[in-house]
DNA sequence: TTTT
DNA sequence: TTTT
């Protein structure tokens, strides 16, 4: 059994973070992935893929990604179902991301991570280490001298 | 923009084939992909992922795969939406498979491909070549002498 | 930075296992992945991809896979280089597998795992749990009642 | 048989383009993909993965990517071997890219594509269409009105 | 050095 | 032979 997905796309909205009752962070966002071909009438088409990530990744995603951010994720497709408020069964598909890569150049990042997303109040200590999620990742220090553009 | 998925799982039902008005074959099936971990109560869990494939792949899939068949696919996640019969917008996610690999050993295959799936009547010629979809693929001729099991 | 590979192919030889000085198991094998097209002269072509896996996966692979076994892996491409015995630098590419799936039907498996591969003598306890690597793996029994379709 | 790789990394050098005797463009480049973990001594580590692409993709890659460019590719691992000049057999592994995505922001692109790479002289017409490889690629402008959420 |  |  293999279930592996890789996506690179842009967030359609700011990500949302919440916490389970046991205090685990969960962050949801949607990636718009443009299709490599146009529709019959020449319009750009995209797939809007719901993604979810957990724990430290969730907090990093909430802190550093915004609507429009270019991001890459690796994960697996997860399906679930529940009873909708109208009594009909609702089926849901989302990608559970093991890893989230921020692919914007540094110049596009907010100077300060958005400080409003933190583990809930009752936790006097941050639950996950607040390390830089870009360490070893998409560190991008493009100086004009380095690149012939 | 990257949107790539690889799945290996088993068909939850026989695949279904249909034809667009212009005669293009489209085959739908669902893959059950077991999760690599058990739920809290020790139960096996799986994701049930809707897949669709087109043209020659559609006919091969309909002819050679059955409920329970082990298959591997490569494709991309596609999202769409339409108005449900109750007027509510319904969102759909499926994997459009570029390639479908049959991973059963030959001994598990039906002797004859299921002959009931063919291009519709008005086509006097088969629309897609009827070549063996296992050519270069998962040809499996395991003789007892070759394998130390 | 994303680096993800998924392969399904057959082992070209029995896998080899060894142990680092600190007693960590490492298993190497080569997967033959047939190309989906034939060469000009109609011959089947394949890529022979070196793979490596560590710890419990290493022991499971050594115990349950053999020359000819169909296997699926997920991992990342790793490159390295070292000085060859002729003083020339040798470059090496291999896939480090996070997960290895055994895709043979149950009937093709040896009744007993190959007992000859164990953690080295000085370890009185098995270093990794000897659980069935196929649990939750390639065999499922889908009944209509279980599926939400 | 499945053989699929997705990479996001940076070009270690300017790509090189050449043409086969029959005039088909082939472009080679190496992607540096940083590993998500540091080595024992805290150093950043990377894999240097050789890639090759053909035809129109080859010309686009040669025209638009440079040393340091962030790029994403999808492809398959290809192995081959040949006799080295010292008579020893040399084994080679590279990723054949079906698709190459340019992931730099627009501001980092050269105004003019590098005009020096063209199909060879004897071809009075460009062999591959000179369309913008970024169409439908890395830049989108998502307005709330466009999204079905 | 290659599997089926 | 390596990118940031």
pLDDT tier at B81 (50, 70, 90 boundaries)? very high
D6 in A contact zone (CB under 8 Å): yes
Q: Which residues of D touch B81 (CB under 8 A)?
A: 148
Q: What average pLDDT does the segment C105-126 reach?
A: 56
Query: How close does chain C come to A33, measured CA to CA in Å?
Result: 16
What does the pLDDT read at residue A147? 26
pLDDT tier at B142 (50, 70, 90 boundaries)? very low
Q: How far apart are CA A72 and CA A37, in angstroms?
A: 20
CA-atom Rg of chain A in angstroms: 18
Higher model confidence: residue D129 or residue A51? Answer: A51
Higher model confidence: residue A85 or residue C134? Answer: A85
CB pairs under 8 A between A and D: 73
Q: Which chains form contacts with chain C, at 3 or more CB pairs under 8 Å? A: A, B, D
Q: Indicate the residue of B2, B137, B138 with minimum beta-carbon distance to D74.
A: B2
What does the pLDDT read at residue C143? 39
Here the contacts of A17-24 (C-beta below 8 Å, separation 24 or greater) are A17/A58, A17/A59, A17/A61, A17/A62, A17/A117, A19/A119, A19/A120, A23/A119, A23/A120, A23/A122, A23/A123, A23/A127, A24/A54, A24/A55
Average pLDDT, rounded, for chain C: 81
CA-atom Rg of chain B in angstroms: 18
Q: Which residues contact A126 (CB under 8 A, 6 or more apart)?
A: A118, A119
What does the pLDDT read at residue B124? 44
Which of C2, C6, C69 should we substitute to test contact with B (largest number of B Cβ atoms within 10 Å)? C6
What does the pLDDT read at residue C114? 57
State the first-to-last Cα distance of chain D, in angstroms, to the nearest integer: 38
Q: Indicate the residue of B8, B48, B105 with minimum beta-carbon distance to C101.
A: B8
Angle value at C-alpha C1, between A73 and A9, nearest 5 degrees: 40
Domains along chain D with CATH numbers: 1-35+46-108 (2.40.50.140)
In this predicted structure, the answer to whether residue C8 has a pLDDT above a threshold of 70 is yes
Q: What average pLDDT does the segment A49-70 reach?
A: 97
Distance of CA D103 to the CA centre of its chain: 11
What is the three-class DSSP state of A18? strand
B24-66 pLDDT per residue, tens? 999 999 999 999 888 888 888 999 999 999 999 999 999 999 9
Rounded CA–C1' distance between C139 and E1, in angstroms: 33
Nucleotide nearest to B105 (CA to C1'): E4
Q: Indicate the residue of D48, D86, D88 with minimum beta-carbon distance to C79.
A: D48
Q: How far apart are CA B123 and CA B138, in angstroms?
A: 30
Structure-block tokens of residue B134: 């296992």
Residue B14: CA count within 13 A, CB half-sphere? 9
What does the pLDDT read at residue A148? 25
Q: How far apart are CA B119 and CA B17, in angstroms?
A: 10
Rounded CA–C1' distance between B131 and E4, in angstroms: 19
Question: Which burial class, exposed, middle or buried, applies to B128 when counting CB atoms under 10 A from its CB (0-12, 13-18, 19+)?
Answer: middle
B137 in C contact zone (CB under 8 Å): yes
What does the pLDDT read at residue D61? 97
Q: How far apart are CA D6 and CA D103, in angstroms?
A: 14
pLDDT tier at C43 (50, 70, 90 boundaries)? confident
What does the pLDDT read at residue D126? 52
Strand E nucleotides with an atom less than 7 Å from a protein beta carbon: 1-4
Residue B63's H or E segment, with its range, is helix B55-64
Mark yes or no for CB contact C101/A72 under 8 Å: no
Mean pLDDT by runs of 10 across the 149 residues of chain D is 98 97 97 90 92 97 96 98 86 96 79 53 52 43 37
Strand E contact at CB of residue D131, distance < 7 A: no
What does the pLDDT read at residue B128? 67
B90-110 pLDDT per residue, tens? 899 999 999 999 998 876 765
Beta bridge partners of D83: D89
Which of D131, D127, D132, D99 is CA-nearest to residue D24? Answer: D127
């Amino acid at each position: 059994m293999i279930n592996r997905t890789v996506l690179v796309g842009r967030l359609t909205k700011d990500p949302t973070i919440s916490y389970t009752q046991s205090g685990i962070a969960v962050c949801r966002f949607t990636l718009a992935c443009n299709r490599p071909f146009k529709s019959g009438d020449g319009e750009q088409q995209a797939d809007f893929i719901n993604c979810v990530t957990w724990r430290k990744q969730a907090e990093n995603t909430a802190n550093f990604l915004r609507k429009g951010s270019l991001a890459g994720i690796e994960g697996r497709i997860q399906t679930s179902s529940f009873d909708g408020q109208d009594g009909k069964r609702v089926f849901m598909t989302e990608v559970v991301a093991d890893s989230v890569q921020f692919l914007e150049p540094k110049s596009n990042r907010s100077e300060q991570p958005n400080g409003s997303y933190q583990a809930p109040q009752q936790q006097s200590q941050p639950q996950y280490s607040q390390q830089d999620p870009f360490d070893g990742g998409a560190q991008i220090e493009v100086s004009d001298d380095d690149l012939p553009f």
